[in-house]
Structure 1
Amino acid sequence: MKKNIKLVAFDLDGTLLTDDKQITEATWEALKELAKREVLLVPCTGRPLSGIPEELVQFPGVRYLISANGARVVDVKEKKVLREELIPVPLAERVLKIFYKYDCLRELYYDGEGVVGQAGYDRVAQYHRSPAVVQYFLGSRQPVPDLWDKFYQENRPVDKVQGVFREISEKARAYEELAQIPEIAITTSLVNNLEINLKDVTKGSVLCEFAEGLGIARDEIMAFGDGDNDLEMIAMVGTGVAMENGIPELREKADYVTVTNNEDGVAKVLVQQLLMEG
C-alpha cells in the first residue's frame, strides 16, 4: 500500500452511502480488498447502532462500530459495548425542553436505538423530505406514545438527543439557546438538524483515543466525511478525506477532496491511495 494505513474510518450518510442510502459495488469491492489486507474498517456515524446497515454490521472486515457521534463504541464480534459517553438525565432534560419549544422532530438515543414520539414518527415526511431518508428513519426508529413519558420512565442517561427542524430559522434560534449550555457539544449532519452530545464527545476524539488503545497512531488512520460532525475527525487523523458534496469547512481541513458520495468517492480514494500497486 502507498500509505501505512492500519484503520479506515468512514461516515455513512453523504459519505459511504449514496443519497439513496446504498453502498455501491465499487465501494464494496474496495472494502473487501482492504479487509483482505487486514486494515480495520470502522463505521463512524451519528446514527444510532440500530440505524447502521446490517450488511455493514455483518461484514467480516468490520469489527468495531462508533455510533451517535462517538457516544457508543461496540465490538461487533464480541457483542459488547466498549465505551459509552452518555448525557446525564438533568442535562438531557434541559436540552429536550429547548427542543420542545420548536417545531422539530425530537429523538432520544438509548442503548444504540433511536426513540421518537408516535406523533413525530407519523409526520416524519414533514421534517425529512428525501424518500430514502424517510424510509431509513421509519425502519430504524422505535416509536413510543409520548417521548416525555419514555424519558421519565427510563430515567437514565442517553447516548444523544437530536432535533430535526421544519424551518431553518427555528433551528437557528434553538441553536442560540443550546449554545448557552457549556456541558454539551452541538453538531449537525443535515441542513436542518441539531445533534447534542456530551461535551468533548466527537467522532474525532473518540476515534483517535480508541485507535490508540489498539496501538494505532493517528498518522495510521484515514477517515472520510462530509458534514459538520466530521470536522474534528478529518482534522485529527493522519489522512482526512472530504467528499465533494461536503461542507466548505470540511473540504478546507481535509488532506484530500474526493468526488461525491454518488460517484464512488470513498472507493476512488481507497483504490488510488491504498490499493493500487506502484
Structure 2
Amino acid sequence: MSYKLIVTDMDGTLLGSNHQVTDENKLALKKALEKGINVAVATGRMFDSAKSHTSFLGNKMPIISCNGALIQEAETGEVIYSNKMDSNVCLDIINILEKHNVFYQCCTSDTLMCKYNKEYLEKYKDIHDSMAKEINIVIKDDFTKDVLENDILKLIVSEENNSELLEKLKKDISKIADLEITSSWFNNIEIMNKDVNKGNAVSHIAKYLGIDKKDIIAFGDNYNDVSMLEYVGMGVAMGNADDFIKEKANYVTSINDESGVAKALYNLAGI
C-alpha cells in the first residue's frame, strides 16, 4: 500500500540502543520524502531534542513532542497544537511525589526541570550530559515558583527498584484530576492532561495535512505508543516491544538495532 504519512516513535524505535538513528532508517525515511510521503516523529522527548536527531530529513516534518502535548513544525517552530497542564494540578502532583521521595522532572517546551537527586543524577550522568547538548536542563530542589511561571507540558516520574510504588503513585495521582498517565520505559510514569497522547496528536497532524488515518503507518515500542498504533491504518510494533504492545499492532517488525522501521517500510510501503 502507498501510505501518505509515516509517524515514528524515537527511543527504542527509530533510534538504536546507542540513541542514534540507524543509517538504514535514515536512508528509508529519505526515500519516503523523495516519494512525496510525509514523515513525522512522535516522542516523549522535548521538541529541540527530537529535532537534533532528525535534521537529516532537512527539518521537513512536524514533531510531536512530550507524548502529544505539543506539535510544532521542525523548520519554523510554528506551534500546530499545545496542551499545557494546570499549574495547581502540577503542584498537587509534586506534593505527592515529594512525600515518596522519588525522582521527577517537569517539561516545558524548551526546559527540563530535574528534581535534585544525587544518586539518580550520578547514575545517569552520561544521559543528562548528552541531553544538555540538546535542551536546557535545570536541576533544583524546589520547583514551586517555576511551575507557576512556566507552561508545564508533562511530568516524568522515575523509580528504578520499586514497581509497586509506581503503581501506587498512578492511583494517587489519578485521584487529583482527570489526567493521562502512561509509561515510556519500565521504570517510569509520564503524566499529561487528559487526552494528551500520541494517537490524538497524530489525528491533529492528519487533519493539518488533510490525510485520512487509513493512509498512515506508525511505529512504536512502548505503552505511550499504543494510542498511536491503534489510531492509524497500519500500526507497527518493534521486535523489541513488550508482547502487550505487539498485540495492539497490525504488524511486528525487527528490533530497533536491526533498523526495524526501514525493514517494515520496505515490506509494507514499497519504499
Q: 1:40 to 1:122 in 2, by over 3 A?
A: farther
The answer to whether structure 1 residue 161 and structure 2 residue 159 are counterparts is no
For 2:220 and 2:136, how far apart are their aligned partners in 1? 23
Matches within 5 A, 1:128-139: 128=124, 133-139=127-133
What secondary structure is seen at the aligned counterpart in 2 of 1:34?
helix
Offset of residue 164 of structure 1: 1.0
Could you tell me which of 180, 194, 198 is aligned with 2:175?
A: 180
TM-score of the superposed pair, with normalisation by structure 2: 0.91
Q: 1:29 to 1:121 in 2, by over 3 A?
A: farther
Q: Percent of aligned positions with the same letter in both sequences?
A: 27
Matched-pair contact (CA < 8 Å) for 2:21–2:53: no
Q: 1:274 to 1:258 in 2, by over 3 A?
A: same
Offset of residue 61 of structure 1: 6.0
Q: 1:31 to 1:271 in 2, by over 3 A?
A: same
The answer to whether structure 1 residue 124 and structure 2 residue 121 are counterparts is yes
TM-score of the superposed pair, with normalisation by structure 1: 0.89
The answer for unaligned runs of 5 or more in structure 2 is none
Offset of residue 216 of structure 1: 0.3
Offset of residue 63 of structure 1: 1.9
For 2:172 and 2:131, how far apart are their aligned partners in 1? 27
- Number of residue pairs aligned between Structure 1 and Structure 2: 269
Q: 1:80 to 1:53 in 2, by over 3 A?
A: closer
User: For residue 144 of structure 1, what is the aligned residue in structure 2?
Assistant: 139
User: For residue 24 of structure 2, what is the aligned residue in structure 1?
Assistant: 26
Letter in 1 for 2:250: D
Deviations 1:175-228 (A, max 9, x none): 221232342100001111010010011100111132123210100110000111
Matched-pair contact (CA < 8 Å) for 2:89–2:177: no
Q: 1:121 to 1:274 in 2, by over 3 A?
A: farther
Offset of residue 267 of structure 1: 0.8
Matched-pair contact (CA < 8 Å) for 1:186–1:196: yes
Could you tell me which of 68, 71, 93 is aligned with 1:70?
A: 68
The answer to whether structure 1 residue 209 and structure 2 residue 185 are counterparts is no
User: For residue 104 of structure 2, what is the aligned residue in structure 1?
Assistant: 106
For 2:59 and 2:267, how far apart are their aligned partners in 1? 20
User: For residue 14 of structure 2, what is the aligned residue in structure 1?
Assistant: 16
For 1:225 and 1:124, how far apart are their aligned partners in 2? 27
Q: 1:181 to 1:205 in 2, by over 3 A?
A: same
Q: 1:124 to 1:261 in 2, by over 3 A?
A: same
What secondary structure is seen at the aligned counterpart in 2 of 1:166?
coil
User: For residue 255 of structure 1, what is the aligned residue in structure 2?
Assistant: 250
Q: 1:122 to 1:74 in 2, by over 3 A?
A: farther
Offset of residue 53 of structure 1: 5.1
Matches within 5 A, 1:217-256: 217-256=212-251
Matched-pair contact (CA < 8 Å) for 1:187–1:229: yes
Offset of residue 92 of structure 1: 1.1
Q: 1:61 to 1:123 in 2, by over 3 A?
A: closer
Offset of residue 24 of structure 1: 1.2
The answer for unaligned runs of 5 or more in structure 1 is none
Matched-pair contact (CA < 8 Å) for 1:103–1:165: no
